[in-house]
Amino acid sequence: MKKVLNEVGYVLVYGTWYLLSLLPMRLLYVLSDLLYLITAYILRYRHRVIWKNLSSSFPEKSHEELVKIEKDFYHWFCDYLVETIKLMTMSASEMQRRMKFTGLEQFNAMLERGESCAVYLGHYCNWEWITSLPCWIPEHAQCCQIYHPLENEAFDRLFKRVRERQNARCIPMRESLRKILEYKRRHTAIVVGYIADQVPLWQNIHHWVDFLHHDTPVFTGSERIIKRTKQMCFYGDMRRIKRGYYECEMTLMTDRPEEAKDFEVTDKYFSLLEKTIRRDPALWLWSHNRWKRTRKEFNERFMEVNGKVVRIS
C-alpha cells in the first residue's frame, strides 16, 4: 500500500511540476512575486530564524538595512523556487544563456588531462542550476553531486530526476567515497560538487570555524574525501547578474589537497563563502537554522575519542 501511495504521490507532484515548468519565465516570475507577498507578509515564513541569523551575522548593520536584506531574501527565495521548477523543461541552450561559468581554462585543462576536480559550493544564488555544468566541460568528464536523499520518496525521485537532466549524476552521501573511487578505478575524469554549509549532526562535528560572527560547527567529510581521492579543489563563487541570470567563477583552492593540513581546505572554503555572502547577503539560505548546535552544548554532551564523537550525557 505504501508503495502505491508513493507512486501516486510521485505522479501527482511530477504532473504539477511539469505543467508549471512549461510556463515562460516571465509568468513564473509573476507567480514568484505573488508567493513573495504571501511568504513575507502573510505567512512570515521562518521569520524568527531568519531575523536571528541576520542580526547576529551582521551586528554592524542598522535595523533598516537588516529589514531590507530580509525582504530581499524572501524575494530571492521565491525566485529560487520558480527557477527550480523551470529546470524540469528548460532546454540546454536556455540554461547556458542563463547560467554561465567562468574561470574554466585551468578547470577544463585538468579534466582534459584525466584529473578529477572537486567544487565547493554553498546554498547561495540558485545552486540547483549548477547542474548545468556538464554543458561547459569536456564531454568525456562526468559531473556528480553529493546529496542527502529526502525523506519523502516521491520528492526525492523528482528532485533526482530534475537534477540529472543535464547529465549530472546524483550520489547519495553515504555512498560518496565508494562511487568516487569506482570512477577513479575506471580512469574517468569527474567533477564532484560539495554543498557543505549545512549544520552537521552532533556525531559528525569534528571542527569549528569563525563564520559570520559565529562559532560554527562544520562538515569535514568533504575534505576527507577530496584528500583521499586527490581531487583538484575549486570554489564555485556564484553571483546573480540580474533576475534569472547567474554566473559561477571557478577559483582554484588547491591542486594538492592531500598535502594540506587538517581542516585547512574546510577553513578556506568557509572564508571564501563568507566573502561571497557579504557581497550580496540576501542570496544565502537564511531560513536554515544554521547555528542551532553550540560548542557549549557539544562539550557538555559529547567528546571525541579516537576520531569518533561519542555521547557522555
Q: 224 lies in which domain range?
A: 92-311
248 part of a folded domain = yes
Distance CA(107)–CA(192), nearest Å, equals 12
113 part of a folded domain = yes
Residue-level pLDDT, tens digit, the chain, 313 residues: 677 777 788 888 899 999 999 999 999 999 999 999 999 999 999 999 999 999 999 999 999 999 999 999 999 999 999 999 999 999 999 999 999 999 999 999 999 999 999 999 999 999 999 999 999 999 999 999 998 888 888 788 888 999 999 999 999 999 999 999 999 999 999 999 999 999 999 999 999 999 999 999 999 999 999 999 999 999 999 999 999 999 999 999 999 999 999 999 999 999 999 999 999 999 999 999 999 999 999 999 999 998 899 999 7
| Angle (CA) 53 55 57, round 5° | 65
43 part of a folded domain = no
245 part of a folded domain = yes
Residue 145: C-alpha distances to residues 178, 196, 300, 313 (Å): 14, 11, 35, 36
Query: Which pLDDT belongs to residue 155?
Result: 81
Q: What is the pLDDT of residues 135-181, one digit of tens each?
A: 999 999 999 999 888 888 878 888 899 999 999 999 999 999 999 99
Q: What is the pLDDT of residues 196-224, one digit of tens each?
A: 999 999 999 999 999 999 999 999 999 99
Nearest to residue 309, comparing CAs of 217, 204, 173? 204
Distance CA(257)–CA(276), nearest Å, equals 22
Query: Which pLDDT belongs to residue 210?
Result: 98
Query: Which pLDDT belongs to residue 221?
Result: 95
Residue 211 burial (C-beta neighbours within 10 Å; 0-12, 13-18, 19+): buried
172 part of a folded domain = yes
Query: Which pLDDT belongs to residue 295?
Result: 97
Query: Which pLDDT belongs to residue 5?
Result: 74
Domain count, the chain: 1
Nearest to residue 15, comparing CAs of 134, 158, 132? 158
pTM of this prediction?
0.95
69 part of a folded domain = no
39 part of a folded domain = no
295 part of a folded domain = yes
